[in-house]
Amino acid sequence: MKFLPIAVLTASFLISLAVFVLCGTDKFCAKRGFRRIPEKIFFILSVLGGALGLCFGMIAFHHKTSHWTFRLCAVLFGIIWLIMLIAMLLYFGGFLWQ
């Protein structure tokens, strides 16, 4: 049980990194006229822990910034994940700073 917060933090970081890379890839594809990544992929990955990567990807690549659904979901899911991670660290992760 001690490693649950570390596992969740690691998974969230890796998913966020993947979403960030997908934002850059999708922006590249949009500029070149290639096939795009479906929006539902971004929504699913942000729910699974990649919301912070979506937020940073939107800022860094100016990706989907005109879509209000992306802005809302990225911020909303990002806040929910931050609250969950902080709560989990406080509940399970007291050993990290003892």
Cβ partners under 8 Å of residue 4, min gap 6: 88, 92
Distance CA 86, CA 66 (A): 30
- Residue bearing tokens 């290639």: 34
**CB under 8 Å to 63, separation ≥6 — which residues?**
23, 24, 26, 27, 57
Q: How far, in Å, CA of 89 to CA of 6, rounded? A: 9
Q: How do the pLDDT tens digits run along the chain, 98 residues long?
A: 667 777 888 898 999 999 999 999 999 998 999 999 998 898 899 899 898 898 888 889 887 777 788 788 888 888 998 898 888 878 776 655 55
pTM (predicted TM-score): 0.82
